Structure 1
Amino acid sequence: MWHAKIKSVMFVALFSWTHTSIAGLEEGIEAANSGQFDIALKEFRYLTDMNYAPGIYELAKMYQGGFGVNKDLRKAASLFNDAIELGSADAMFALAVMYDDGKGVKQDKHKAITLFTQAANKNLSAAQFNLGVMYANGDGVVQSYYTAMDWYERAASNNYTLAQFNLALLYYQGLGTDKNIERSYIWNLIAEYNGSRDASKSRDLDEQQMSPSQIEKATEIADDIYQRIQQGTYAPEIRPKQKSYTF
């Protein structure tokens, strides 16, 4: 039903630091992306010696992928942990994936959830999305569409396309919320604006259950939300707390 959890991406993270550190990081990433791994390793190791979290993170990715060095997942995990101690959200995400998959470390869903949550609370949209998937599927946590929706909404507000599409699915099926075809249409349309073909097909299904006036109104709302997302001013709606029952 849902788009699967995503993995970390190689050589993309940039953080603010000293000008020299940023320049070295950019040079290292550029070298890595062009296959000049010796240069990349030199830059990342220098930044690691400086205790610069983004450099440590990138060096960990080199060991994780075996780029210019022998692949060493344990070394990668250790370096990710060093970067985490310096507050790197990207490292939190990467190590969470390793614990989730049991690669380089002993599989531990609880640690994976903890690290994903830490990264998500630092507003890393990929971590927010993964938490949405895990709560939707009951993967390592008590299954809760309500909580999944909360995480999807946070990622969607950061313009994360997969979260926007999964959020539309929840509205369409009435999972974690009341069934709402208009809201499904809105989030499918927003995801479609970001190039999602799945969302485009799903939006067509929504339209079959909507009147022309409903489509017009929903489109106006979607356009407004999308514009605010682009401007960084959109905040998820506050939903009523999930009901709890005692017997």
Structure 2
Amino acid sequence: MSEDQPGLDMDLASGIAAFESKQFSRATGLLSPLAEQGSIEAQYRMAIMAQNGLGMLPSPLLAYKYMKNAAEAGLGLAQHGLAFMYMQGECVDQNPAKAVAWFKKAADQGLVGSLTTLAMMYEEGQGVEKDPEEAKRLYRLAGFEDR
């Protein structure tokens, strides 16, 4: 481990704190270099800011790049975010089948929002064959007993 690692950790912590307190310009300045160096947490937050034009001009390509990198690295929230991009056709061409695949990965990590969205997709037959039983199973897993 290099001697400058504590500085990088501090920048990440400061960048996340700035992001969470909605100081997006500051967050972009702190997180952008870390995202370029491969920090998954920085990439996820940069994706959100690039997607929504927070602290920077909206950049769909950058948002997609960072969200996909963080999702492929295994960050559940990024997997959910990438799935949503595919579901809505935001920052990338709409692709319900890819949305389902990424929602499944996020759901496997216990993200209730992903389970719920996946259940809805099975209920409506969006990106998958309509399957009311699978929808009910997923809703139950997400904590909805009465569906």
When the two structures are superposed, what TM-score results if normalisation uses the length of structure 2?
0.88
- SS at 2:30 equivalent: helix
State the AA in 1 paired with 2:61. Answer: H
State whether residues 56 and 82 of structure 1, in contact with CA within 8 Å, keep that contact through their aligned partners in structure 2: no
| Aligned equivalent of 1:57 | 12
TM-superposition CA deviations, 1:140-198 (whole Å, max 9, x none): 22111111101100000111110001111111111111111111111111111xxxxxx
RCO higher in 1 or 2 (8 Å CA, sep ≥ 6)?
2
In terms of Rg, which structure is larger?
1
Pick aligned residue for 1:78 from 29, 46, 53:
29
% same residue:
24
Larger fraction in helix: 2
How many Å apart are 1:122 and its aligned residue? 1.1
> Is the counterpart of residue 180 in structure 1 residue 135 in structure 2?
no
Compared CA separation, residues 48 and 190, structure 1 to 2 (3 A): farther
When the two structures are superposed, what TM-score results if normalisation uses the length of structure 1?
0.54
Pick aligned residue for 1:122 from 57, 73, 85:
73
- SS at 2:78 equivalent: helix
How many Å apart are 1:48 and its aligned residue? 7.4
State whether residues 83 and 99 of structure 2, in contact with CA within 8 Å, keep that contact through their aligned partners in structure 1: yes
Q: CA RMSD in A?
A: 2.3
- SS at 1:176 equivalent: coil
| Aligned equivalent of 1:113 | 64
Partner Cα distance (2:110, 2:64) in 1? 22
State the AA in 2 paired with 1:142. Answer: D
- SS at 1:63 equivalent: helix
Unpaired segments of 5 or more residues in structure 1?
Answer: 1-16, 19-46, 193-198, 204-247
- SS at 1:123 equivalent: coil
